[in-house]
Structures are given as C-alpha cells and as structure tokens.
Structure 1
Amino acid sequence: MSNSYAQPVLRTPDLSEAMTTVERLLGIADLRCLEVDFTARLSTARSYAAVAAAVPDADWWAAAGGGGSSERGDDPTACLPIWLQKWAGTPDMVDPFLAAIGDSPAAVRWDFNAWPAVPELGLDIGGTRGAFVTLCAHARDLELDEPADDYTVFVHVKQIEAERAPWLAAQVGLTVIGDLVMAP
C-alpha cells in the first residue's frame, strides 16, 4: 500500500466556492465505490456534541497525551482536545459535518474509484490510492496543524503521476497553488 500525494488547487474564505470546486472535481471522477472520510480536531464539549451528532459512530482519541479514546469507552469531554474521525461515511453527511465543526480544524476526504485517463500526458486511469479530493476547513494543511480562516481544496494523485494534479486543476478552471505533498 502506498500513500497518495496531494496538491492544493483552491484557497478561499467562501465555503460555497470550495464545495462548488469539490463538486466540479467529483464530476470528472469515476465515483463508483464513493466513500467520504471525516476528521476534526475538537476543543470544546459543544463542538464535540455537534460533530458527533453529524457523524455518528465516529472514533475519537485524546489529542494530548492523556490516552483517552472511544475504543476505551472514555468520556470524550473529559479528554479535550480530541481528534475525531469517521471512515467510510456517506456524501449526505458532508453538509451536516461542515455545519457542525464551527471554527474547528477539519477535513472531508472523498475517496472514489478513479480519475480519468489523460492520454496527452501518457496517463492511464488514475485508480485507487491516488483518487481523492480533500477539503480542509480552518487549516491550510492536510494534518490540520496550520490554522486558517479559510478553506483549501486538494486533489490527490499517485506520486509517479504528479502531472495529473495540474491537469485536474485545469479541468475546473484552476491551477495548482502549492507543492505536491505526501498525504497522511
């Protein structure tokens, strides 16, 4: 198994613009096997309650060294700040999740079957392990470490197919705006 590599294609203070870009990118993808993953770093009981309601059955663990986790059956509000993650969610969870996070750093990653072939670049269909779109909210990076007041959209590709990222950006009228980085 290998990691995908991601490159930012849009940074905007407007969530609607970010979601429109995500939808346009998904419009050129093969969405068979579509799943959506959710991650958030939460610091208050209120933010935890809202996000947990939006993405039920999410796992969580203490962000600090306390060791608390959903696996151990601990109380998340006693372990704040926490990381919350929900794998293999559905697209209908995206809007409630984004509404629930408030100003917490969070990411939504759409995981699907493949990017289209790009014959002019000598690229076949870009399949699993390199076919994702991520929207980071209130963070500039995929690890959610660099705080921001805006949203960043990333396209994921295989490292050996790095030229696919600028091509994908161009398909939705954008250009890449940062470096290609290994995704967590």
Structure 2
Amino acid sequence: MGNSVAYPVHRSTDPAEAYAKARRLCGLLVRRYEEVRVGAELGTVADVRRMVALLPHVRYDHTDMRTHPETDEPLFFELDVRTATDAELAVEVPLDFSYTELPAAVAEEEFVRAVGTGPASLSWEGSWPDEPELGSYASPKYDGVQLVLNSDECEWSRQVSGVHTVYVHVTKFGDPGRAERLAAAIGGSVLGEPERGF
C-alpha cells in the first residue's frame, strides 16, 4: 500500500525535449510495463477536439464539480464529445480525464502535441535495476517515469503553462541517491523536494 516517492529531475519549456528526456529514462528501466497511462485537463473547445481525435472513447468529465442551481444535486458530463457541437462544448469546458491507458494505435508524441495549455501527464511504470552495492533495489510496484506537461507538480493539479517536468518514481520510502543517479544519466539533477507519486 502507499504511493511512490517522485523526484523532479528535468524541467523544460519545450515539451518535445521533456518527452525525449522522459523516454531516455524509460530506457533505463530493466522492465517496463506496456501500459502507458495518460490524463489531461482540456480548457478549450480546440483542446477537446484535438484530444478526442486521439482518444474518442475516453470518459471525459467536468474538471470541477458542478451542481444543479436549484436542487444542488451533482451534474455529470453527459455529452458525447464525438458528436457535440462547439457551442455545446463551450459551456462544458474545462473537461478532463485521468490515468487512462493510451491505446497502442496512438503514438505518445501525438498525445504530447495534442495537449493544450492545461496540465497533462504520461506515466510509464516498471522496475529500476538492482544496485546492491549502493543499497538500491527495484520496487516494481512503485518504480517509473512521469512526464507532467504544463505543471510543476507531480499530481499536475496546478497549471503552469509552458513548464514541463520529468519525474522519476521510486520506492514508497524514497531513494534520493537513485534519483540523483537517474537525473545525472539525462544530464540533470534533482530539482526540488520529493513529492507524493503514483
């Protein structure tokens, strides 16, 4: 039980560069699960259209809880994003979806390009190599790499347009030495305090 500890190891204003660094880190995993998890907040109709072209069957929802003005009952997003008009979507944004599996037919680079100015995330899970001489061991439940677009937080709840952050995830107990070694492997360093991860 619990969450990984995530360390920020690279920030860039160029999403393609940040993606390339994240993929280099993925290459250091000795085992990587095939599943890539993605999520995004879509602030405009154009953002929704770009994402729906890639992920038409994802369950989209309001980013913020909405309630009926008279009954105070929760309102759920009911439109079919594939057929909704721009006018219908305009009153529904922002929309989001969280940690859905990226279909094999969709390239990761396409997802990165489709993200607008809202926060988004790609996560790759697996196992880091055992390094017994350094006291570091694989933690398959917690190890991985995450690219957070338009945010400087692992949980990508705060929007910071144009800032893209790469995280390494390690055991739930943290491993600053491993994080530093992984950061150095992509020409970086740990950039801040550890955060709550997956």
Contact 2:61 2:96 in 1 (8 A): yes
Identity of aligned residues (%): 28
Q: Is the CA contact 1:55–1:97 (under 8 Å) kept in the aligned structure 2?
A: no
| Correspondence list, 1:32-47, <5 A | 32-47=32-47
Calculate the TM-score normalised by the size of structure 1.
Answer: 0.86
Structure 2 residue runs of 5 or longer lacking an equivalent are: 67-74, 82-88
**Partner of residue 64, structure 1:** 64
**Residue in structure 2 matching 1:139, options 151, 154, 166:** 151
CA shift in 2, pair 1:32/1:151, >3 Å: closer
2:182 maps to 168
Distance in 2 between the 1:169 and 1:151 partners? 15
Q: Which runs of 5+ in 1 are unaligned?
A: none
Q: Is the 8 A contact 2:41 2:96 kept in 1?
A: yes
Instruction: Tell me if 1:157 matches 2:162.
Output: no
Contact 1:40 1:107 (8 Å CA) reproduced: yes
Larger Rg: 2
Please give the per-residue CA displacement for 1:118-163, whole angstroms capped at 9, x wherever unaligned. Answer: 22321222312x1121111111112321423221101111132423
Give the paired residue count. 179
Query: What residue in structure 1 maps to residue 71 of structure 2?
Result: none
- For 1:114 and 1:158, how far apart are their aligned partners in 2? 10
CA distance in 1, matches of 2:7, 2:99: 23
Task: Note if contact 1:9-1:175 (Cα within 8 Å) is conserved in structure 2.
Answer: yes
2: distance between equivalents of 1:56 and 1:65? Answer: 22
| 3-state DSSP of counterpart to 1:159 | coil
Distance, in Å, in 2 between the alignment partners of 1:81 and 1:55 is 16
* Aligned residue type for 1:50: R
Q: Matches of 1:24 and 1:126 in 2, distance apart?
A: 19
8 Å Cα contact 1:63/1:82 also seen in 2: yes
- What is the Cα deviation at residue 86 of structure 1? 4.8
Contact 2:4 2:174 in 1 (8 A): no
Q: Which moved more, 1:24-33 or 1:84-93?
A: 84-93
CA distance in 2, matches of 1:89, 1:59: 13
- Over the aligned positions, Cα root-mean-square deviation in angstroms equals 2.1
In structure 2, the CA distance between the partners of 1:38 and 1:138, relative to structure 1 (3 Å rule), is same
